[in-house]
Amino acid sequence: MSDNSYRYAPETAVVRAFVDPELATQAISPSMVMSVNHCFDPQQGAFSAQGLEDLSEAPYLYAGWSNPTVDQLEQRLAHLEGAEACLATATGMAAISGLFLSLLKHGDHLIISDVCYAGVYEFATQVLPDYGVEVTAVDTSDITQVLNALQKNTKLVHIETPSNPLLTLTDIRSLANGLKTSGTLLSVDATFSTPVITKPLSFGADIVVHSLTKFINGHGDVLGGAILGSRSLLNQIRSRAGVYLGATLSAQSAWLIMRGMETLYPRMKTLCSSAHEIANWLEKQPRVLRVLYPGLASHHQFALAQQQMALFGGIIAFQVDDIDLIQQRFAQESHVFYYAFSIGHQRSLAVAMKTDELDQSTYHFTAEKRAAFRSFAGDGVIRLSIGLEATEDLLRELEHLLR
């Protein structure tokens, strides 16, 4: 890659950075290196990474350690996010578990959001305590609650912004500033926002996590995850999660993710515009009780969204007067929205997320937290992941389903 590419606009850099024609063939599309094994010179001490400042500089030996195609993805993601280094993983949960198990040990304390992706919450609250890690879940949209929960042994605060599924925000800059004196690290799951909308490192976060399965790949056909941050932190995480936890991303998956991420900016601009129009329309519908979308003036953190988000995202959550009926209609009558979990695909998805079911399966709310959740979600929300279909087709379908 030429030095000029570092001065490209993000829309250009995501397509051009770290992509050069192949020397032997002058092919423009990146090649896929499928080999599991690589020859090496034993005189160069390839069996040991001791002395390397960055483990990604170690010679290629075995694909479980590193792979040229995966390395290229990591370089491109780091450039896109404004990070020094990146570790790509087999799934988004592999990124989360690799992060937690690399940075936390017996006797440490973790703070997480009390409303976040179910797999993250369950891993943190049900698995980590078995290894002696203390976990506290708080409303991270309230910085005071986070700071009040700090302990001498708090090593990491992990947040989602926007959160899943309530689309609440955390003021990243304020929280990062509040954590400075404690020495506590701040990691941000920015899967919902992507680097197009928010770059957490620029607001003071130490670590960014993505499920590459979602918007960054954008086509619903491959799993992947990523952890990004400083070289020193990523070297620590890579030496554990990248070697011992078996979270290796395959070359095929890395190649597919790179192909998908090249259209990230136009995809996000299109679906965010559509989502904004749909969210405004939903607020006017008689069966809709409340719309949760950061781009609406009715969102209680709209001012923060304007400061922290370049766009307002492709995810909408909304309450309805009869969630069972509307869930049934989405599942049985929809032709444009697929009734399915996950987000960030080129096709629009919808799923009902019922409060009682989330409580019983994942969150196990206290009475106070159940009341706080219900104040946003009521009996539950319909979560929409807006795709690339024409907005008028999505609105026509919603009008039918919400009749």
**Range of lowest pLDDT (56-60, 99-103, 196-200):** 56-60
pLDDT higher at 33 or 307: 307
How far is 309 from 120, CA to CA, in rounded Å? 23
pLDDT digits (tens, 9 = 90+) for 241-282: 988 998 899 999 999 999 999 999 999 999 999 999 999 999
The fraction of the chain above a pLDDT of 70, given in percent, is 95
140 has a pLDDT exceeding 90: yes
CA distance 84 to 76: 11
Ordered by start, the domain boundaries in the chain are 32-261, 264-401
pLDDT band at 6 (very low <50, low <70, confident <90, very high): low
- The yes-or-no verdict on residue 50 having pLDDT over 60 is no
Task: Please give the CATH architecture assigned to the domain spanning 32-261.
Answer: 3-Layer(aba) Sandwich (3.40)
pLDDT of residue 174: 98
Question: Cis peptide before 162, with omega less than 30 degrees from 0?
Answer: yes
Which is higher by pLDDT, 158 or 48?
158
Angle between helices 391-401 and 264-282 in degrees, nearest 10: 40
pTM of the complete model: 0.92
Q: Place 165 in a pLDDT band, splitting at 50, 70 and 90.
A: very high
Closest to 279 measured CA to CA, from 163, 161, 395: 395
Has residue 83 got a pLDDT over 90? yes
Domain 264-401 in the same topology as domain 32-261: no
In the three-class reduction of DSSP (H, G, I as helix; E, B as strand; rest coil), residue 261 is classed as: helix
Which phi and psi (to 5°) does residue 393 adopt?
Answer: -70, -40
Residue 2: band (very low, low, confident or very high) from pLDDT cuts 50, 70, 90: very low
Q: What is the pLDDT of residue 65?
A: 79
* Listed residue (224, 245, 215) closest to 346, CA to CA: 215
Average pLDDT, the chain: 93
Q: Containing H/E element for 72?
A: helix 68-81
pLDDT band at residue 148 using 50, 70 and 90 as cut-offs: very high
The candidate with the shortest Cα–Cα distance to 320, out of 334, 330, 306, 307, is 330
Residues 230-234, mean pLDDT to the nearest whole number: 96
| CATH number for the domain formed by residue range(s) 264-401 | 3.90.1150.10
Does residue 376 register a pLDDT over 60? yes
Weakest-pLDDT range from 24-33, 77-86, 383-392:
24-33
Residue 314 contacts residue 215 (beta carbons within 8 Å): yes
Q: In what order do the strands lie in the sheet containing 225-229?
A: 85-89, 225-229, 207-211, 185-189, 154-160, 109-113, 134-138
Place 5 in a pLDDT band, splitting at 50, 70 and 90: very low
pLDDT at residue 1 in the model: 39
